[in-house]
Amino acid sequence: MNPDYMLPELLEQIPKWTMIEDCYHGQDAIAKKGEIYLPNPSPINEDEAVKVQRYMDYQKRAVFYNVTKRTANAMAGMVFAKYPTLDIDPALEFLKTAVDGGALSFVGQARQAFLMMLLKGRGGLLVDYPLVKHGQYLPTKKDVSDDNLRPKIRLFDPQSIINWRVQMVNNTRKLTLLVLKENYIKQDDGFKVQTGEQLLVYRLIDGQIWHSIYQKQGTWQQIQSDIIRGVHEIPFVFFGANDNDESIDDAPLYDLAVLNLAHYRNSADYEEGNFIAGQPSLFITGLTKEWVTDIVNQGNPIRLGARTANILGSGANAFLLQSNANSGLYEAMQDKKEQMVALGARLIEPKGGIKTATQAQSDKADETSITAHLANNLSDAYSRAFNYCGQFLGIKHTCTVVFNTKFDTNKMTADERRQLIAEWQAGAITFSEMRARLIDDEIAFIEDDELAKAEIESDLGEITGHIDDEP
C-alpha cells in the first residue's frame, strides 16, 4: 500500500511552481537557492577558496527586480478592489469572517486562492464537515443549534493535492478519489509543537463517500474511516487558470518569472563587470628605476586625491584609466525589463481585434481579460463550495459568489454620456447596450433591464405628478 503516491504529471510541475513562488518572494528567496538560479562564473580550475569568495561577491552585487510579485499583486488588487457580490442564505453569513473555522475571512482566503492560480495555475477548496454526535456528518437542526456545528472551507495548495481520479458515474464525470496531504500536531508540550504528516483520503464507492485519515508513524497507518452520510459527491472543488477541472493548467506567471530570472543573471554579470573594470586605475610611465628605489621604496607611496601632490621624475607621465560601462549587458537588461513590463500588461489588458467605436464602448472587460477569466473561475469555484456548505446545513437556496471583473478605469466624460444616450435615441444601439456601458462606468447600478425600466418610469411619473400639482 502506497497512500502517498503522487501522480507523475504533478511531480513534473513542482519545480516550475517552486521557481515561480521563489520569484514572487523576491531577492532573499532567490539568493538562498544559490547556483540553481545564478550559475557560478568562476573557471573550473580556479582555487576553491577564491571561487567561493568570488561567487559570494558576484551574488551580492546581483539585483532581483521583482516584477513577478508586482504583477501578481496588481492583478489581485484589481479583482479585490471591490468586495465580492454574494447571494447566500443568512445561515452562511459566518463564512464571511470565519471561512476556515478560525479568524481567516472569506476575502482573505479568496485572495490567497487567486494568487495561487497566478503562481501555480490551480488549487482546491475542500468543504470540511464536522462530525456530529451520532456519528454522521449531516446534522439535524437541533445538532446545529445546540452544538453550533458549522462547515468550513479549506484552501489546498496544488502540491498538497497529491492524487485524484475522475470517472464516469451514471454518465456524469465525478471525482472518485481524492488524496490531500497536510500536517497535524503530533505532540504539544504547551510551548513547542511537533508536527507529523497526515493524508485525507476521500473515495466515492457505490454512491457513498468514504472518508479516511492516514498518519505517518514509521509507515502509513489508517487511523479513521467512516462514511459521509447524505452526501453523494466528494465536497471538493478544483480551480484552475483555464478550467475548473482536475487537469493541471499552466501557471499564468511562468513566462514572466523566467524573464525575471534572466534579468537577474544579466544584472549579476553587469554589476561584476562594472566592479572589476569600472574602477579608475592609475598608470605612470617614464619613471626611472632609481626614482622608484629612492622615492617609493623609501616609504613614500604615490597618493591620489586633490589635497596631495606627487613629484615625478623627469619625463614621467601619470594618467587614470577607466573603462566604459558594458553597454551590451546593459541593453540586454533593459530589453528584458521592457519584455517583462509588456508581458505583465498583457495579463491585464483586454484581448481582441479591431472594433467599431460602439463595440468598444459596449464591450465588457470581464469578457476580454486574462485577469477577469481567472476571477470568473474563482467565482464558480467558491459558488460550488458555498453550496456544499449549504447542503450540510440543509439549505435549499442556491448560493452564488461573484468577484469583480470590471477593471476599465477609462470613465466617460459628460459629453460621451450624452452621445451614448443620443445613439440609443437614434436607434443605433439598444437600451441594454446603452445601460451596459453606464453600468461599467458605475453610473447605473441596476443590472436587470426590465427592473431598471420600471424604476425609471416610476421616477418619471413621480416627477410629472409633482409638476402637475404645482399651483
Q: Does residue 416 form part of some domain?
A: yes
What's the number of domains the chain is made of?
Answer: 2
**Domain end point (choices 288, 321, 354):** 321
Residue entry with cell 450624452: 418
User: Of all helices (H) and strands (E), which one includes residue 186?
Assistant: strand 172-188
From residue 294, give the alpha-carbon distance in Å to each of 276, 300, 303.
Answer: 32, 9, 16
What is the distance between the alpha carbons of residues 283 and 278, in angstroms, rounded to a whole number? 15
Question: Phi and psi at residue 86, in whole multiples of 5°?
Answer: -120, 125
Question: Phi and psi at residue 187, in whole multiples of 5°?
Answer: -150, 140
Q: Does residue 455 form part of some domain?
A: yes
Query: Do the strands 85-87 and 400-402 form a parallel or antiparallel pair, or are they unpaired?
Result: antiparallel
Each residue's pLDDT tens digit, 49-80? 888 998 999 999 888 988 899 889 989 998 99
Q: Does residue 218 form part of some domain?
A: no
3-class DSSP state for residue 74? Answer: helix
C-alpha count within 13 angstroms, C-beta hemisphere, residue 5: 10
Query: Grid coordinates representing 24?
Result: 514572487
Helix axes 431-440, 414-425, angle to 10 degrees: 160
What is the DSSP-derived secondary structure letter of residue 224? E
Q: Does residue 447 form part of some domain?
A: yes
DSSP secondary structure string for all residues of 269-337 = HHHHHHHHHSS-EEEEES--HHHHHHTGGGT-----STT---PPPTT-EEEEE-PPP-HHHHHHHHHHH
Q: What is the pLDDT of residue 72?
A: 92
What is the DSSP-derived secondary structure letter of residue 187? E
What is the distance between the alpha carbons of residues 254 and 119, in angstroms, rounded to a whole number? 7
Cβ neighbours for 345, distance < 8 A, ≥ 6 positions apart: none
What is the distance between the alpha carbons of residues 338 and 344, in angstroms, rounded to a whole number? 10
Q: Does residue 69 form part of some domain?
A: no
What is the distance between the alpha carbons of residues 295 and 311, in angstroms, rounded to a whole number? 9
Each residue's pLDDT tens digit, 320-340? 555 555 555 566 667 666 766
CB-CB neighbours of 172 under 10 Å: 8
What is the distance between the alpha carbons of residues 199 and 202, in angstroms, rounded to a whole number? 10
What is the DSSP-derived secondary structure letter of residue 216? E
What is the distance between the alpha carbons of residues 439 and 271, in angstroms, rounded to a whole number? 51
Strands of the sheet with 161-169, listed across from one edge: 161-169, 172-188, 193-205, 208-217, 219-228
- The domain containing residue 289 runs over which residues? 280-321
Q: What is the pLDDT of residue 161?
A: 98
Q: Do the Cβ atoms of 40 and 55 come closer than 8 Å?
A: yes
To the nearest 10°, the Cα dihedral for 324, 325, 327, 330? -170
User: Of all helices (H) and strands (E), which one includes residue 244?
Assistant: none
Q: Does residue 440 form part of some domain?
A: yes
Report residues of the chain scoring pLDDT below 50. Answer: 350-368, 466-467
Whose CA is closest to 242, among 234, 252, 232?
252
Which parts of 121-253 fold into alpha helices (H)?
A: 141-147
3-class DSSP state for residue 7? Answer: coil
Cβ neighbours for 237, distance < 8 A, ≥ 6 positions apart: 124, 125, 244, 381, 384, 385, 388
Cβ neighbours for 129, distance < 8 A, ≥ 6 positions apart: 137, 138, 151, 228, 231, 235, 392
Q: What is the pLDDT of residue 352?
A: 42
What is the distance between the alpha carbons of residues 159 and 124, in angstroms, rounded to a whole number? 10
From residue 270, give the alpha-carbon distance in Å to each of 39, 222, 320, 360, 461.
Answer: 14, 56, 22, 44, 73
What is the distance between the alpha carbons of residues 160 and 183, in angstroms, rounded to a whole number? 10
Amino acid at 72: A
Beta-bridge partners for 181: 199
User: Of all helices (H) and strands (E), which one includes residue 358?
Assistant: helix 357-362
Q: Does residue 286 form part of some domain?
A: yes
Q: Does residue 430 form part of some domain?
A: yes
Whose CA is closest to 161, among 186, 175, 176, 182?
182
Q: What is the pLDDT of residue 329?
A: 57
